[in-house]
Amino acid sequence: MAGRINRATVERVRERADLVELVSARTGQVRQVGPRAMARCPFHDEKTASFSIEPAQKLYHCFGCGVSGDVFKFVMELEACEFPEAVERLAERYGVPIEYEELSHKEAEELDREKKIERLLEETCAYYERVLVDSPEAEVARAYLAERKLGPELIKHWRIGFAPDAWDRVVNGALKKGYTPADLLAAGVASEGRQGPIDRLRGRIVFPLFDGRGRVRGFAGRVLPGVEGPKYINSPEGPYFHKGKLLYGLHHARGPIAKAGRAVIVEGYTDVIALHEVGVQEAVASMGTSLTEEQLTELRRLAATLVLAFDADQAGQDAALRGMRLAEQKGFEVRIVPLPAGQDPAEIAASGKEAVETALNGSVSVLAFLINRALQQREQDGVDAVYAQVRSILSSAPPTPDRARQVRRVADVLRLDKELESRLTRGARVGVPVSEDGALNRARKRLDQRTRIEREFLAACLALPADAPTALDLTADALVEPVHLTLVPWVRERVAGNAAEAPAGAEDVVAELYALSARFDPAAGDVPDLEAAEAALQELMLQIQLRAADDEIGPLRGRVEDGSASADELRRLAVLQREVESLRAELRNSSFDS
């Protein structure tokens, strides 16, 4: 039986595919700049071309939004498909015959099983849709949806359905088609009853839950108004449904999110539908949970900004708080929409797009959200308790204009004198979790800067093959980022003129290196001449070596201070300190702005 596409086919497709042509088909004109090409980015709106293409290597990197990858990832991201499908689409486009590897008997059985469950989920979804549209027993559901402004077109677009109030409609229909009880349980459309499987959803409005490719992975059943029971019943967690990996509406929102450069995150299914209806099509839902790492990883491929619009109740704010901390750790810019009490995004959308945009434009930073939340408790908790809380938040935050604004606001609201105001950003941090988050943010900021310098160093080596061997000999041991260490041998091969395959998992970084290397290439116009490019490489080497020396000095100083340093360590510390002073002097004399 045919299985995985074999490696030879993948390489033939990679060789035949024309990334410049693919980008041009999406964005229009592509401009050649030396060995590279530049275009407007297909992943976000921009007026000037910042999307760099390496035609020979079939790699891309956008200096505007940061996306990067190879020709297969380009298709996967823009067309919302997995790797095998991307290979198949490119093979068809460029006339490459596809050869498959034979699967083992066990692998073939697993693949057949997965496809069978996918068919069952799709057929069940279609059944629920028919019941909602045609069945008299769905009359109450249709009336409720109409009251919520969900008309026939929206119902069809989002494939909303109704599960009849019976024990075995889905089960019996599926069994007649040849599905087994085990299939029904694995798909999550049935539960185990006393005498066999029974329908899991009964008498409920059904929202299908799709993955990013638009495949049905599960269902959420909403109770009808006036009926007792949980508001929602979801498909159970299992091999085919993982709620924490899905974002409701992502299959419709992928393009709009990439184009807008942001994702609007809400809690409920009807919130997403209402926002899409008024034109905010970059909205998705975390489905009642705080954002998970898997959801954020999916979003990070599309945008760098998240706008969280959760309900104004305490539970909604707590969910937003958990999600925004994790999002910031993932490198997102996070904004919070403080919704009016008692309103959800769907209710605001009922007033039209202008009302929604007004709410979104009123979004605040994470720091402002935390400060607002604390200040709202001053009547209940007292000024002293609130002062301690905001001091914890502000002293953990990095020194930015936003922090300065929040300090002034706290001082005004709490009517602080200059001494108390000055203490808001220093000392005596209470509230350990917030303090830990602040420390993590600052450490991550330092790490990001170091990663950037190391990456630019490797890119400069690619651009300056005559200087690269010596530069790598002097500096490679000072690199700390694991992916950069794995790439050093690859860079050596490339600057020697040898063909070399990038280490597995480093393809995106390689794409970025090729794009960044234009900055150090006089032919591309970013540096005036070879001398300036070599000066830039030298400065990057100095910065990396300085950080490596600082890394070694820290522990040595600690041992000196506690009296445990040996004579050799004292001598080593003195040598390092002289080296640091020398490196800093060289950096001060450097003129290239990295």
**Domain edges within the chain:** 2-100, 110-241, 245-362, 371-430, 448-588
Q: Mean pLDDT of all residues in the chain?
A: 84
Name residues whose C-beta falls within 8 Å of residue 339's C-beta, 6 or more positions apart in sequence: 309, 310, 311, 312, 345, 348, 359
Which of 404-408, 418-422, 527-531, 566-570 is modeled with the greatest confidence? 404-408
Q: Pairing state of beta strands 305-308 and 333-336?
A: parallel
Please state, in angstroms and rounded to a whole number, the distance separating the CA atoms of residues 247 and 129: 21
Nearest to 317 by CA among 355, 274, 373: 373
Q: How many CB atoms are closer than 10 A to CB 475? A: 22
- Residue 333, phi then psi, degrees to nearest 5: -85, 125
Q: Is 332 helix (H, G, I), strand (E, B) or coil?
A: coil
pLDDT of 178 reads 95
pLDDT of 1 reads 42
Using N-to-C axis directions, what is the helix angle for 482-495 and 468-475, rounded to 10°?
A: 150
304 or 469, higher pLDDT: 469
Q: How many CB atoms are closer than 10 A to CB 148? A: 15
Confidence of residue 318 (pLDDT cuts 50, 70, 90): low
Place of tokens 């800067």: 449
pLDDT of 559 reads 67
Q: Are 61 and 514 in contact (CB under 8 A)?
A: yes
Mean pLDDT of 312-336: 74
Sheet of strand 36-39: strand arrangement? 31-33, 36-39, 51-54, 59-62, 68-70
Name residues whose C-beta falls within 8 Å of residue 373's C-beta, 6 or more positions apart in sequence: 317
Query: For residue range 441-454, what is the model confidence (pLDDT) as tens digits?
Result: 443 344 467 888 89
Place of tokens 């490196």: 583
Confidence of residue 3 (pLDDT cuts 50, 70, 90): low
Query: What is the 8-class DSSP label of residue 423?
Result: G
Q: Is 205 helix (H, G, I), strand (E, B) or coil?
A: strand
The one-letter amino acid code at 350 reads A
Place of tokens 């704010």: 317
Assigned superfamily of 2-100: Zinc finger, CHC2-typedomain (3.90.580.10)
Please state, in angstroms and rounded to a whole number, the distance separating the CA atoms of residues 258 and 242: 24
| CA neighbours closer than 13 Å in the CB half-sphere of residue 87 | 18
Please state, in angstroms and rounded to a whole number, the distance separating the CA atoms of residues 243 and 24: 37
Please state, in angstroms and rounded to a whole number, the distance separating the CA atoms of residues 295 and 586: 45
Q: Are 414 and 387 in contact (CB under 8 A)?
A: yes
pLDDT of 589 reads 63
Place of tokens 């005036």: 528
| Model confidence at 201: pLDDT above 90 | yes
Task: Give counts: helices (H), strands (E), the chain.
Answer: 26, 18
27 or 316, higher pLDDT: 27
Place of tokens 């080296």: 579
pLDDT of 428 reads 36
pLDDT of 432 reads 34
Three-class DSSP labels, 342-385 = CCCHHHHHCCCHHHHHHHHHCCEEHHHHHHHHHHCCHHHHCHHH
Task: Using a pLDDT cut of 90, give the percent of the chain over it.
Answer: 30
Which of 48-52, 261-265, 300-304, 326-330 is modeled with the greatest confidence? 261-265
Query: For residue range 375-433, what is the model confidence (pLDDT) as tens digits?
Result: 988 888 888 888 888 888 888 777 888 888 899 989 888 888 888 888 888 743 333 33
Top CATH class, 245-362:
alpha beta
Query: For residue range 215-253, what is the model confidence (pLDDT) as tens digits?
Result: 999 999 999 988 988 999 999 998 889 988 899 999 999
pLDDT of 587 reads 65
pLDDT of 560 reads 65
Confidence of residue 289 (pLDDT cuts 50, 70, 90): low
Mean pLDDT of 259-283: 91
Name residues whose C-beta falls within 8 Å of residue 31's C-beta, 6 or more positions apart in sequence: 37, 38, 39, 49
Query: For residue range 104-114, what is the model confidence (pLDDT) as tens digits?
Result: 788 788 888 98
| Model confidence at 32: pLDDT above 60 | yes
Confidence of residue 593 (pLDDT cuts 50, 70, 90): very low
pLDDT of 594 reads 39
Mean pLDDT of 493-508: 80
Q: With DSSP H G I counted as helix, E B as strand and the rest as coil, what are the percentages for the chain, rounded to 5?
A: 60, 10, 30
| Model confidence at 261: pLDDT above 50 | yes
Domains 2-100 and 110-241 share a fold: no
Nearest to 348 by CA among 290, 253, 283: 283
Q: How many CB atoms are closer than 10 A to CB 473? A: 10
Rg (CA), the chain: 29
Q: Which residues of 197-233 are buried (b: 16+ CB within 10 A; e: fewer)?
A: bbbbbbbbbbbbbbbbeeebbbbbbbebeeeeeeebb
Using N-to-C axis directions, what is the helix angle for 83-94 and 71-79, rounded to 10°?
A: 110
Confidence of residue 194 (pLDDT cuts 50, 70, 90): confident
Mean pLDDT of 492-519: 81
Q: Are 183 and 195 in contact (CB under 8 A)?
A: no
Query: For residue range 123-152, what is the model confidence (pLDDT) as tens digits?
Result: 999 999 999 999 999 999 999 999 988 999
Mean pLDDT of 353-363: 88
What's this model's pTM, rounded to 2 decimal places?
Answer: 0.63
Using alpha carbons only, give the angle 278, 279, 283 rounded to the nearest 5 degrees: 100
Q: Is 217 helix (H, G, I), strand (E, B) or coil?
A: strand
Fold of 110-241: DNA primase DNAg catalytic core, N-terminal domain (3.90.980)
Q: What is the largest CA-CA distance in the chain?
A: 90
pLDDT of 19 reads 93
| Model confidence at 437: pLDDT above 60 | no
Using alpha carbons only, give the angle 397, 401, 405 rounded to the nearest 5 degrees: 85
The one-letter amino acid code at 318 reads D
Of all helices (H) and strands (E), which one includes residue 495?
A: helix 482-495
Please state, in angstroms and rounded to a whole number, the distance separating the CA atoms of residues 510 and 522: 21
Sheet of strand 204-210: strand arrangement? 161-163, 204-210, 216-223, 232-234
Mean pLDDT of 540-563: 77
